[in-house]
Structure 1
Amino acid sequence: MIDKIRWGIIGPGKIAENFANDLKLVDDAVLTGVASRDPERAKQFSQKFDIPHFFEGYDALFNSNLVDALYIATPHTFHKELAIRAMQAGKHVLCEKPMGINSKEVAEMIAAAKQNNVFFMEALWTRFNPTILAVKQLVDNGTLGDLGYVNADFAFYAMDKPLTSRLFDLNLGGGTILDIGIYPVFLAYLFLGMPRAIKSVSDFNPTGTEIQTSVIFQYDNAHAVLNSSFRYNSRMSAEIAGTKAAVTLLPRFHETQGYDLYINDEVTRVNLPTIGKGYSYEIMEVNRCLKSGTLESSLWSHKNSTDLMLLLDKVREIGGVKFPSET
């Protein structure tokens, strides 16, 4: 039995810092390497997080025998290329969400995982959050009755940022849909599945980047109302409602620390604080799969990532959102 899974990080940015901090809280994980196109950034990151090895360029880490699994934390337009190169080098991969910028990329990445017989998973950390797991259980065991409504809003004010910001850079997949809209769409998918119809509207800034999108997913007996925006600061709340009861996720819902359960006129608060910021749970899931010889998570499978990207593709298509790399 493997004692500790040795991890490496590709792309030492802000989200990688959160990941590195939480990895220290996982008993059977150790961070052994980091790589960047900029060797100085890799060096500084390794010093900050006491990582024994830093690499100049990604291939040096891909081909190293010092790591078992890699976390890819670069902007999402680079995910496909880097994930495939890592898997071709025999590394297991946890790829930050969104897995790719469209369904074609996701299909290529999943194919590469199967061809190289390695573990591959989208780092959709919210799926492994203790509150999300608990509420999913409530839904599955019928506590809420038949679901009729999901509502989720993810927004923060970003209009004061320069137009050169990553958030507005179409070449980096800028806009709200892939960056933050993925969370409301994920929540609807998790609890209601694939909709039978989608309505969506998007607004754009002067450079053509989408800055707010509102979506309705229609099901046979339910609706999901979803929104993502850079125009305002929201509570980032979410509600799942059924014929017997309703749940509101404590904001911010994508990193929620508990929920309120509404049954008739009674409200029960359930607090489920995360370990660290919450990235540790996806790390533990990868480690569990690797130690059991499983190359795909049952909690967030390749099909789940494929379905989610199909939904995001459709939302972008309806709203008229297209990236320069998509010919």
Structure 2
Amino acid sequence: MASNPPAPEAPFAPSRQHGETFGYDSRRADEGPWEEWNPSAESIRPVRGRHRVAKQRGGGLARSSTVLGVGVIAAVGAGGMASANSAKPPVSISLPDLPSVGSLFEDNSDAAPEGSATALSGIGVTATETEQGTSDAGEVLRNRIMAQAEQQQEQIEAKAQADAQAAAAKKAADDAAKAREAAEAEAAAAKKKADEEAAQKAEEARLAELAKQYTLPTSSYTLTSTFGQAGSMWSSGYHTGLDFAAPTGTLLKAIHTGTVTEAGWAGAYGYRTILTLDDGTELWYCHQSSISVSVGQQVSTGDVIGRVGATGNVTGPHLHLEVHPGGQSTGIDPTAWLRDRGLTP
């Protein structure tokens, strides 16, 4: 808050004393009269906001400096508050040129001071300016808060949009990965199926080619006993071959090209012929009624090697066929062996 310099005391002029008093029953020695003094900016010095102005004519203003000081302080205070509230630059304070301080308190309110047209109430900032400054500051703060809120909302929306885009991208990537996996699985299944079909066709072609090289041992037959069938009729406790029941004298043929390694009587097997193939597999033809080949003879697929009979341990005419890979004593299932060569008994 700005302060005004104190007014120096006016020179004492005792010759102009008169009986007029101010605020007392009788004249006091310190009431004057004094010579007329007009305050100015050059003649006022600051004394912590308090000002004293001497009465100029006729007495009657002993404490006028106190009244003037209070008015100036109030005006300066209003200016300071307006500056603090409105954030405006400091307002300079000036005092008007007054012809006489005593004239401010005369009853004639229509009379204007002679020295200056500037009224004392013009010092400082008006209430309208203060209100306008406060309103401007509030508007600035409001705009700043709204801008921050909008910025935060934009950040939230941007983050939400980024999250949504990331989620959409992740979903698209997952969907693409699933679609790729499904396509790969479908392609693998199709390839597997195609490979299986190709393998099957290749096997069928191989078997068809083998079927040209292999043939069943007889025709017009009936399968009566299979490999592994249990029963007391066989010394091993189970059937060791495959039985083709057919009338006596039915022709027996070489299943594949090979060499006759045995031809003759074999006890419980009756008349038996053994045909050994090139890979060492032995084919046993048992219970024949007659033998048409001899040991060491080379035969081809389909050549007649004997006839169906009922010799040995039998209950009726049939061919008992056994398969012994590598010439081993224990045979294998003739049905499976014939199927592997494209033949279905």
Output the TM-score relative to the length of structure 2.
Answer: 0.16
| Larger-gyration structure (1/2) | 2
Output the TM-score relative to the length of structure 1.
Answer: 0.17
Greater RCO structure (CA 8 Å; 6+ sep): 1
